[in-house]
Amino acid sequence: MHVHEINPKKTLITLTIFVIVIIVGLLTITNPRLEYKLTPNETVELVVWDDSYVFPYELEDVIVGAVDTVILIDIRNTFDFSRGHIPGAENISAVELLSEDNIKRLKKLQKEGICVLIYGETQLQANGPWMVFRQLGFSNVKSLMGGYQYYALWKDNLADSYGDDGYLLGAADFDYSDIASNVNIDENEGDSEKTSITVNRRKKSTVAEGGC
Amino acid sequence: MNKNYFILFGLLIVLSGGLLFLPEKTNYVQQSPESLMWDIVQPTRYISTDQVAKLIIEKDPLFQLVDVRPDYDFEAFSLPNSFNIPIDSILTDEANDIFNIEDVNTIFLSDDDIKADQAWVIAKRMGYKSVYVMKGGLNCWIRTIIQPQKPSESAPITEFELYNFRKGASIYFTGAELSTNSDIKQEVNITRKKKETVAEGGC
């Protein structure tokens, strides 16, 4: 006698449980909280053709409030922040910016089309965090060229930095091969011109110098 | 045969269709964004140009330099024994072979440190462990190693030691001749005292 013939409903129950387990399993495949939206190849394209930098002179409009679609976020530590920051900037560290609340806020800002401009002490400091947020799909996150150091240098006449290119990074400052083949280290740098020492001895008073 | 078996069979086929919607599996383990960010905020990935110079001079076998500049720049000038992997080909198999050498630390370098840092972020995301960035890049290399600046007279002794090391490194890397100007003859003009005229007469 076959086992199912004892209780035909047994198969049905097993079947239902089986299906439920599979469906529950499929539904609860845990998606990690944060997922890369860009593939590694897209990330390479991003850094080769990057255009999501903000020039320092563009800050002028943001600071005076002419543009209200930009939010400034200072990722430096609180000590540096307290010693000076770009007006209107919020101080949120890069790691903190990945917290659940902040991610929610960034998503909201992205929907509203508001640009999130992050900056550190130098552009290098903001570079990594900027890349992480771009890879997470936040195309509205941008990085400030030159970082805070450059801003602090030009803060009184920010618009004038248009003609300056000190914030540009990634370019060679030298013709390396030319310099490396023409090196001449001058030991006596600084005092290389010949110095002649003149010693003027005090004249002995002539003993019998006759006076009047 | 029980028709329930057919139902069960059919259901399994249908459910297996769900596999199609699973995220694509890759053959490498990517680092999660959170732990990547933790790595990014730590400055431990930066290696100074002095350290790199030392590694090259000592012929340390446990590191390799990867130059991420375009190939025409690399051909014009490159550091000794460095590989050229332009940043746009960092995900190729050849690059993978270079990064995957066991126990060998990879140091990225470019004109300054931005591009090298970007290459580092990508490599780190791809799960490569021992990758570093040469701080300041080649611009800093020229300023510190090739054209070292003499510290001021009042600088601490360590500055002079560093300067001496850099001077030696510069000679090592360029074959420059050290001109010491030691044969400068310094003219000493001594105005000798005039012989007294004893009987210098008055009026």
Say what the ipTM of the complex is.
0.72
Domain, as residue range, for A119: 40-163
**Cα B85 to Cα A49, A55, A63, B9, distances in angstroms:** 17, 29, 41, 52
Instruction: Tell me the average pLDDT across B180-195.
Output: 58
> Was domain B33-145 assigned CATH 3.30.450.40?
no
Q: Could you tell me the CATH number of the domain that includes residue A110?
A: 3.40.250.10
Give the integer Cα–Cα distance in Å for A168 and A55. 9
Q: What's chain A's average pLDDT?
A: 79
Residue B132, pLDDT > 90, answer: yes
Supply angle C-alpha A174, A176, A178, rounded to 5. 100
Half-sphere CA count of A201, side-chain side, radius 13 A = 11
Task: Average the pLDDT over B41-62 and give the result.
Answer: 89
pLDDT tens per residue across span A163-188: 777 677 767 777 777 777 776 655 54
Instruction: Say if residue B7's pLDDT is above 60.
Output: yes
Q: Tokens at residue B192, please?
A: 């000798």
pLDDT given for residue A193 in this prediction: 45
Task: Please tell me the pTM assigned to this model.
Answer: 0.74
Rounded mean pLDDT of A62-84?
86
Domain-embedded: residue A146:
yes
Q: Do B139 and A22 touch (CB under 8 A)?
A: no
* Residue in chain B nearest A189 by alpha carbon: B150
CB spacing of B111 vs A179 below 8 angstroms? no
Residue A32 lies in a domain: no
Integer CA distances (angstroms), A119 to A27, A28, B94, B135, in order: 40, 38, 35, 19
List, for residues A104-150, the tens digit of each pLDDT value: 999 999 999 898 999 999 888 898 999 999 888 888 898 888 888 88
**Residue B145 gets which letter from DSSP?**
I
Report CB contact under 8 Å: A185, B179.
Answer: yes
Q: Is the dihedral of CA B32, B35, B37, B40 positive or negative?
A: negative
Query: What is the DSSP secondary structure assignment for residue A144, as one 8-state letter?
Result: E
Q: In sequence order, which residues have a C-beta less than 8 Å from that of residue A131 and are 6 or more positions away?
A: A43, A46, A47, B118, B121
**Which residues in chain B have Cβ-Cβ distances shorter than 8 Å to A4?**
2, 4
Q: Where are the domains of chain B?
A: 33-145
> A2-6, A18-22, A175-179: lowest mean pLDDT where?
A2-6
Number of domains in chain A: 1
